[in-house]
Amino acid sequence: MQISIFVVLLIVTGTYASYQEKDAESRLITNQIRRVINQIRNQIRQAGYDPYRIDDFQYEHKPMPNMVEVEAFIDRLTFTGLSNIAINRLVVYILNPGLEFNFSLPELRLAIADSGVDVRVFGNKQSARLNGGLSIRNTRLAGTVRVYLIPLRVRSIRLNFQAGVFQSDLNMNVLGNDFSNDINTFFNTTVPEYFRQNAAEINRLLVQLAWDIIRGNRDFLSSYEIA
């Protein structure tokens, strides 16, 4: 995309926020934003990212034939849910120009029928296998953006990211050892705990990223005239 969704939302908000017909114009703004979200959904699907499938992947590398050989495969991998962007809350403020939003991905799901790596060194074969599923429910980004109208610029940004609920049911075997419990504990416990403990820093970095995106489009925004 040429410009980020964040900049698009800012422009749409700023364009109509100076109008006097408050209720009607608020609906007009939110409808414009919903159309932008729908375009993003369609772009994700058209790019082949939802669903994303690998039916049969094979890889083979023999740096030293009959001495060192590597083979890998993926059988029926599916990733779904990336385009299913839910708009849980979308409010445009006219008198104190800004936007409050709450977007989520209801469920991201990864399923792997089978995958593996085989390494042969001097005839000795070592293998690793991975299959099963992983889902993440209710990944959420909420926030408030306040703007000045003339000239159009951002006054403040507040963001709150929630990684969601992880449910891992993966099976992993490496060199004949079962690491299924380890990988499932990592996704079900370690990763959510990391997001919980570092929530403030993650939100701070997301706000900084949003500011960087806006500053990167400063010329575009400054040249945009509000009707």
Tell me whether residue 147 is in a domain: yes
Tell me whether residue 168 is in a domain: yes
Tell me whether residue 214 is in a domain: yes
Chain mean pLDDT for the chain: 86
| Number of domains the chain contains | 1
Tell me whether residue 227 is in a domain: no
Whole-angstrom distance, CA of residue 206 vs CA of residue 11: 20
pLDDT of 201 strictly over 60:
yes
Q: 100 pLDDT band (50/70/90 cuts)?
A: very high
If we measure between CA atoms, which residue out of 149, 141, 142, 144 comes closest to residue 11? 149
Q: 10-23, pLDDT tens digit by residue?
A: 656 655 554 444 56
88 touches 133 (CB < 8 A): no
How confident is the model at residue 187, as a pLDDT? 97
Whole-angstrom distance, CA of residue 48 vs CA of residue 44: 7
Which residues are CB-contacts of 114 (< 8 A; sequence separation ≥ 6)? 73, 74, 75, 76, 129, 131
Q: Which domain holds residue 23?
A: 5-222
At 97 the three-state DSSP class reads: coil
